[in-house]
Each structure stands twice: as structure tokens, then as C-alpha cells.
Amino acid sequence: MQTNYSSRESWEWRPMSGAHDVRLLDVFKGQPKAVWITAFAAVIAFMGIGLVDPILLSIAEALNAGPEQVTLLFSSYLGVQVVAMLITGAFSARFGAKRTVVTGLVLIVLATLACALAGSIGQLVALRAVWGLGNAFFIATALSVIVGAASGGQQAAILLYEAALGIGLSTGPLLGALLGNISWRGPFAGTAVLMAIALILSAGFLPKDGDRSQRQPVRLLDPIRALRHGGLLRTALGSALYTAAFFTVLAWSPFVLEFGAIAVGLVFFGWGLCVAVAGVTLAPKVAARFGEAGGTVLAVLIYAALLAVMAVGSKPVVVVAVILSGLASGLLNTLFTGTAMSISSAPRPVASAGYNFCRWFGGALAATLVGHIAEWTGAPQAPFVVGAAACVLAAGLLVVDLRPKADPHQVPVEAALVGEEF
């Protein structure tokens, strides 16, 4: 018997209820070891998203690769992660959260160590794919581990997870810059060491997996079935378009700026701090003022405007726009998922898997095409124009069937974020 998740089509403009009940300082007090170990590992895992940004030019020079080849480091990483996101729920249901986390960390350690020893761009791209597989297993399970172990309830766990996300996104480019200034192999080796520490701690101190019979079964095709719901599908496609623009900024800005590793690292460090601040502190306020759906539309239009500025501005203007885009990204990382999870009646993990499949597919596609777009048009700023257009289209998808109807079954965004994978 197949589950039908397409019965409810209405969206609700509603505040993020209870979003201000937990103070940030209280979140970090009295948490058990399992929470801190998982959060530490999550920081390192999220570092991998922006780690290669400052060394893209160094890798291209050292391995005699063009921009369209180097940006495959993003698309292979994300492409494998996209597909793997569909199987992580079933894997975790069968083998348990701890085994899933440890499996992911083992793959990441092996992949990052091998990246540091790679001799060609082809090897590096293939190893980044293995890294993406490990990341899918880890990231898809880390939040559920934190939620299950954190003191202070679900909302405190979500804030911890968002904090780990922001710290990882901001420190990844900085670590990549500092170690990449020595050698392009340095960031990969450094990540391998840090992830090995996280692996040892996770294997030794995370709680053992419980009885398999107590876990809710998840079928492989459940996430795809959840996308039969029109509202969830439109939101997932909107997020895919935004994520394409997100990775346009991440993958293409270093080639437009043509800065050294340290300078690029500092730019994206500022960007990552903006992501962290907006995702943890500003998103609840925006949702309270405009509703989750309304806040998402507003933020994605702001992101489109910043991309338009990048397309026509000088290098200093591009630097400012990239850093400020982190604020919009922080809002969207939180609000997009909250909106997606509150639209349909599908269980949060199932809806999240389907949503994230579309979301990261957009990122993988953008990372693959961004260099080719610049080559085809002969304009280095052309990818930013395409990214801005994608964001406008995303806003249109979110608005087209928006109906301000109350729905007693809606899930507040702080609860909906339990299923988030980014």
C-alpha cells in the first residue's frame, strides 16, 4: 500500500510560534557529551562546503585545470550527496543513528586524506564524490542525534545545529585559506585530521543504537512519493533554484575576484558569519513578522537583488555583495526548510528527504554549469545574472498558489526544522 502525501495543498502565513522562548546563552549550558561530540563533527562536516573556495585558483594552477573542471569539485560532491540523501533514512532505520554517523565519518576521513594525496583533477573530483557520500550519511543523521540527546528540548537542539552550521560555513573558507596558503593539499589534510578526531569521539562516546524493532521503517521511494503534494513540490523546486544561485556565488566568486587564498578566505569568513547570525537570530524575527512563507519570498528576492549587484559591480562591490548575501542565505537556510516541512502531511524526515533531493540537485547542477555559462556567453558576470533570474523564478513558484488559509495541522517552523539536512 502506497502512502499518499498530497491531500493538503494550502499554505499558511503564520508566525514562528515560540521562537523566542529559548535564549542563545541557555542553549549551550549543561549539554551532554553526545551533543557536543555531534556538534563538533557537524562543524567539521559543514566546513567541507566552503573549504575549497580559497584554493580553487591554486588547484587549477597546480593541476592544469580550467574553471569548468575545478567547479566539478562542487558538483561531484553535491551530486552524490543528492542521491544519497534518498537512502540515508532507510539506512538509519535499518542500522541505527550511531552506525550511520560513524559510517559517514569513516568515508569522509578516507576521502579527505586521499584528496590530500591526489595527483590529478580527475582523482580529486572522484574523491570529492566519496566525500559527498559520507557527508550525506552524517549530516542527514546528526540533527536527529542532537535532538535526541540535547537538554532544553527540541528548540534548543535546533539552535545548536544552526550554530554548528554557521560556524562550519564561516571557518571552512578560513581554514582553507590558511592551510591553502602553504599548499592546496593542506586544507584536505587538515580536515582529515579533524574528522578523524570526531570519528574517534563519536565511535567511543555516542549512545549505542537501540533495538531495530523500535525504529519506524522508511522505504526508499517515500521521499519521492511525498513530492506528489503540489505545495511541497513547488517549494522544493523553489529551493533548488535558490540553491543553484547559492552555489553560483560559492563556486564562481573566486574566479571573478581573482584574489589570493587568504583574501578569498576572509571574504567567505565574513559571509559565513552572516549566514550564522541570520540563521540563528534573524530568521525567527523575520518569520514572526512576515510568516515563514512570506519571509522566504522576501529573502529570496533580496538574494536576487544582491546577485544583480554582483553582475554589474566592481570587485569591491562584489566583495560587499557576497558578504551581505550571507544574511539572505542564513534566512533562507532556515525559512525555506520550515516552509517546506509545514506544507504537507508527510512525516518530517520523509518530506525533508524529498525536499533536500530537489534542493541539492539545484546546487549540483549550478556547480557543473557555472563555468560553462561564463564560457558560452564570454561574460564573467553572466553566471550571477542567471542566478538572479533563478531567484526571481523561485519567488514566483512560492507566490503563485499562496493562499492565506489557517490550517490546524500546520507544523511550527522550529519543529519542522528537525528534518533539515543542510
CATH code of the domain containing 196: 1.20.1250.20
pLDDT given for residue 276 in this prediction: 83
Residues 378 and 119: beta-carbon distance below 8 Å: no
pLDDT given for residue 81 in this prediction: 84
pTM: 0.77
Is there a domain that residue 399 lies in? Answer: yes
The structural domain count of the chain equals: 1
Q: Residue 75 corresponds to which amino acid?
A: S
342 CB-near residues (< 8 Å, 6+ apart) = 12, 292, 410, 411, 412, 413, 416
d(CA 97, CA 142): 8
pLDDT given for residue 368 in this prediction: 81
Assign 256 to helix, strand or coil. Answer: helix
Q: What is the CA radius of gyration of the chain?
A: 20
Is there a domain that residue 224 lies in? Answer: yes
Is there a domain that residue 201 lies in? Answer: yes
Is there a domain that residue 124 lies in? Answer: yes
From residue 146, alpha-carbon distances to 66, 250, 292 in Å are 41, 28, 24
d(CA 261, CA 305): 27
pLDDT given for residue 216 in this prediction: 62
Other CB atoms within 10 A of residue 115 CB: 26
Is there a domain that residue 1 lies in? Answer: no
399 CB-near residues (< 8 Å, 6+ apart) = 297
Residue 352: which region, alpha, beta or left (left: phi > 0; alpha: psi -120 to 50)?
Answer: alpha
DSSP symbols for 71-131: THHHHHHHHHHHHHHHHHHHHHHHH-HHHHHHHHHHHHHHHHHHHHT--SHHHHHHHHHHH
pLDDT under 70 in the chain at which residues?
Answer: 1-30, 89, 140, 143-144, 147-159, 210-218, 220, 341-342, 346-349, 401-422
d(CA 411, CA 222): 20
Is there a domain that residue 85 lies in? Answer: yes
pLDDT given for residue 127 in this prediction: 94
Is there a domain that residue 71 lies in? Answer: yes
Domain around 68: 24-419
Other CB atoms within 10 A of residue 11 CB: 25
φ, ψ at 5 (rounded to 5°): -105, 20
What tens digit of pLDDT does each residue of 15-43 get? Answer: 343 444 445 555 566 677 778 888 888 88
From residue 305, alpha-carbon distances to 248, 269, 392 in Å are 14, 21, 9
From residue 165, alpha-carbon distances to 116, 171, 356, 399 in Å are 24, 10, 16, 28
Q: Which three three-digit cell numbers place residue 6?
A: 498530497
pLDDT given for residue 348 in this prediction: 62
Question: In whole angstroms, what separates CA 45 from the centre of its chain?
Answer: 10
Is there a domain that residue 185 lies in? Answer: yes
